[in-house]
Amino acid sequence: MRDEFGQVVAAKREGPILSYTKKARDLEGLVQQVAAWRVENPQAIIGITSGAFDLVHPGHSSFFNDAKANCDHLIVIVASDRTIRELKGEEKPYVHELKRTGEVASDESVDAVIISDEFAHETILQAIHANILFKGDDYFGTKVHGSEYVDLVMLIPCAEKEFYSSSAFVRKIKEGDPDVAPDWAPPAPPR
Q: Express each pLDDT in 47-74 by its tens digit.
A: 999 999 998 888 899 899 999 999 999 9
What CATH number is associated with residue 158? 3.40.50.620
Tell me, yes or no, whether 191 lies in a domain. no
Taking the C-alpha atoms of residue 94 and residue 119, their distance in angstroms, rounded to an integer, is 18
In a domain, 74, yes or no: yes
CB atoms within 10 A of CB 23: 21
> What is the reported pLDDT for 40?
98
List Cα–Cα distances, 91 to 54, 96, 116, 135, in angstroms: 12, 12, 19, 25
| Segments forming the whole domain that contains residue 145 | 18-175
Q: Decide if 103 is inside a domain.
A: yes
Query: Could you report the per-residue pLDDT of 123-152, keeping only the tens digit for each?
Result: 999 999 999 999 998 899 999 999 999 999
Give the phi and the psi of residue 73 in degrees, each rounded to 5: -135, 130
Number of domains in the chain: 1
Q: What is the pTM for the complete model shown?
A: 0.88
